């Protein structure tokens, strides 16, 4: 057997090898006295370990183990702390204000989105009508009903006439507020 190692013997003792590997290990054991001696040593060791009584631990080791893991992987502990702590109320208000701002910006451009949706609806209806299959006419009807539902809400078209430089400044300010909110939202308050 090529590349025979101790893992094969452990799996052989556990009975987890597949049929071909088991036969290969048995063939190697038949030809190698060193492997047989190692197998006998492992059988003795495992029998001795199974003979030991199970005793409960007198000291809880979990706190020390968790502390050691956190010391060795500080990034993991920061993620765990950030996920396990609740967020302050002002961060939730900041997140809500970001959502309201996004809805406001979307509301300004809703009519343009609906125009694009109508054009897409007309293109899809033209394409589906050219195929002329009964099942596709059902799909075309469902698509028409779906797009009619999306056209039902009519939001007021707010026109804010600002020069391009002021729009750029407004978008830059919104980006800075968004980045600051995300920084506060995703950092650990214990880090300082």
Identify the band that residue 81 occupies on the pLDDT scale cut at 50, 70 and 90: low
Residue 182 has pLDDT above 60, yes or no: yes
99, 117, 98, 120: which is closest to 109 by C-alpha? 117
pLDDT digits (tens, 9 = 90+) for 92-110: 888 888 888 888 777 767 7
CA distance 55 to 57: 6
Domain ranges of the chain: 6-51, 57-85, 89-191
pLDDT digits (tens, 9 = 90+) for 132-178: 566 667 777 888 888 777 765 666 676 767 777 787 888 889 999 88
**pTM for this model (two decimals):** 0.31
pLDDT digits (tens, 9 = 90+) for 14-64: 888 889 889 988 888 899 898 899 989 989 988 888 888 888 888 888 888
């Amino acid at each position: 057997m090529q590349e025979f190692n101790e893992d094969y013997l452990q799996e052989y003792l556990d009975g987890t090898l597949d049929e071909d590997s088991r036969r290969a290990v048995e063939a190697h054991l038949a030809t190698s006295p060193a492997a047989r001696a190692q197998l006998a040593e492992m059988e003795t060791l495992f029998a001795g370990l199974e003979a030991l009584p199970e005793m409960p631990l007198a000291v809880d080791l979990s706190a020390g183990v968790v502390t050691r893991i956190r010391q060795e992987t500080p990034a993991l502990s920061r993620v765990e702390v950030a996920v396990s702590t609740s967020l302050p109320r002002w961060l939730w208000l900041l997140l809500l204000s970001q959502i309201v701002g996004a809805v406001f910006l979307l509301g300004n451009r809703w009519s343009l989105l609906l125009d694009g949706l109508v054009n897409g609806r007309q293109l899809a209806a033209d394409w589906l009508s050219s195929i002329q299959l009964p099942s596709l006419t059902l799909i075309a009807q469902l698509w028409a009903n779906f797009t009619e539902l999306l056209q039902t809400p009519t939001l007021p078209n707010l026109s804010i006439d600002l020069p391009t430089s002021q729009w750029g400044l407004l978008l830059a300010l919104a980006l800075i507020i968004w980045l600051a909110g995300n920084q506060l939202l995703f950092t650990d308050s214990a880090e300082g």
